[in-house]
Structure 1
């Protein structure tokens, strides 16, 4: 069905301002040139799955045309249908005028090499924890493969579901306080056919997980500090605020977690806690403790590894703070 985007004076101005033609381009290559040009002219932020106007234009076009994302130059001579071009214009308007992240417009995103359903119910998937999952937590996990994993503050469920897909013998719990996010997570569980090994639980941190212990806990909680939150590009305003900010220094949620997480890890268990740009504040707060901040070959930062035996020191340290 065609999406009506090119009628009305407002849309006409939009098309003109961003070098777009109302008429459907003759080829995929011509459509890509227009799409790329419009995104280059626009003052949009790239950081929700792509990092440049070119990458986003390619993703947008291939998604609208239903082509594989690894398509090569051979598709450039292909035809573009009227409905497909109308969809692209609709997405461009949402992207440029409304400043929505592209995955919210296309309804899909990728994490750890896997496709996920994506919409405003949860943050767009993005986390260096994907590299850990693909590497099966090496070199920090040794011995027999972990049997249980918790994805805490799961949002749309991509972290825990990806862990289950990449390790076929892993039992996973994904937990979040937000009903809307959990509804999306359950759709992604069904999408990946992992309902036999992935359970979605409503929980305020560990409140709904009494008596459970896990070999691995992966947590990407809200961690944006007040200063970064105020300066964020407009695209982030489309995301659920519950998933972003966590107090003045971004660590309110992480402190709560660290004070109780030891009760939910097995004796050999590992916690991987992502705190992004707030890592310096946490590193300073835990000064004097032997902390492991993970370096990623694929980019990303601010992930703290804590072993079960290290957590009593952390808990004691936090309890001693005024």
Structure 2
């Protein structure tokens, strides 16, 4: 809790951001203070909200235990002291420590679903939500896919969303990090998907044997060294192993593309997110015709590869590595 009785630094924080130590009379007044503090602090928005207003609403409604789609009627609700103390504590951590808000509230949304969220894994965010929503079309043809791998799954949101959107789909969540997988397990249990979703600790696909999948969705570490060094402070609150991937951001991507052919069914499709590093891969494989997705809901840098295309990509990467 944020207190002002004996802690000068807390008093200074409240004064700096024009926050009242006493509880505002209603939620609307508290929201106004919260919004103005976030605006003044110039925090970075990239973990579930894109403006100070949206983040203020998310923060305050979460502290009050109210649904995020609450209407304007809640603005007149009286505010309990403990709700305001929680709001101030979260604001201080958000502004001073630059912690992403989902780490403070313990929840995040992906593909319209709520997930448990904490420092064990990256905050859920990926344009792959749109791929799931469109059922992998037009890249997947025929009957609905029966098996899916969420590679580098972190907290499991991508694979769990896929399982929730398609009944009877069998999903494997794979990650090298045991802490991230513990969070993924909690999210699997949250949606009671234990019978359809399996969790495997694996260095990429090394522990998957000869298992094959119709769909592989992968949001791996892909941030290049330059971008990693210049990222806003909020991103450095996340597990570093989930972000960086060598000088050009492609160290892990090259390994995935070399191994994925072994784990795709003959008609299978790999969707691989590369963010800003997509240009480096596109340049490295300039003699091949790569397919990059366009998104109606925002996002970029997702490569889509059919199973029969992986051999030529893997061969070209091997050749490129030998030449360098």
Secondary structure at the residue paired with 1:96?
A: helix
Aligned-pair Cα RMSD in Å: 0.8
Secondary structure of the 1:76 match is helix
- Quote the residue 1:93 is aligned against: 92
The count of corresponding residues between Structure 1 and Structure 2 is: 320
**What residue number does 1:263 align with?**
262
For the 8 Å contact 2:224–2:277, the answer to whether it is kept is yes
Quote the offset at 1:237 in angstroms.
1.1
SS in structure 1 of the partner of residue 83 of structure 2: helix
Cα distance, 1:4 vs structure 2: 4.3
3-state DSSP of counterpart to 1:268: strand
Normalising by structure 1, what TM-score?
A: 0.98
Q: Deviations over 1:23-62 (max 9, x none)?
A: 0010111000000000001031100000110000000011
The 5 Å alignment of 1:128-207 reads: 128-207=127-206
C-alpha distance in 1 between matches for 2:264 and 2:122:
26
Task: Please give the alpha-carbon distance, in whole angstroms, between the structure 1 residues aligned to 2:160 and 2:78.
Answer: 36
Look up the SS of the partner of 1:83 in the other structure.
helix
The residue that corresponds to 1:125 in the other structure is 124
Cα distance in 2, alignment partners of residues 79 and 85 from structure 1 = 11
The whole-number CA distance in structure 2 between the counterparts of 1:142 and 1:34 is 52
Partner of 2:232: 233
Gaps of 5+ in 2: none
Equivalent residue number for residue 272 of structure 1:
271
Q: Which runs of 5+ in 1 are unaligned?
A: none
Query: Equivalent residue for 1:248?
Result: 247
CA distance in structure 2 between the aligned counterparts of 1:293 and 1:202, rounded to whole angstroms: 29
Q: What does residue 217 of structure 1 align with? A: 216
Tell me the distance in 1 between the aligned counterparts of 2:134 and 2:84.
Answer: 40
TM-score (norm 2): 0.98
1:71 alignment partner in structure 2: 70
Hey, what's the Cα distance between the residues in 2 that align with 1:142 and 1:90? 50
Looking at structure 2, the residues matched to 170 and 5 of structure 1 have their Cα atoms a distance apart, in angstroms, of: 50
- Report deviation, 1:142: 1.7
- Equivalent in the alignment of 2:102: 103
In structure 2, distance between residues paired with 1:20 and 1:62: 17
Tell me, in whole angstroms, the C-alpha distance in 2 between the residues paired with 1:40 and 1:199: 42
Residue in structure 2 matched with residue 208 of structure 1 by the alignment: 207
**Structure 2 match to 1:281:** 280
C-alpha distance in 2, partners of 1:43/1:58? Answer: 16
Query: 1:26 maps to which residue?
Result: 25
Moved over 3 A (4+): 4-7
Q: What whole-Å deviation, never above 9, does each CA across 1:145-168 have from its counterpart, x for those lacking one?
A: 000000000000000011001111
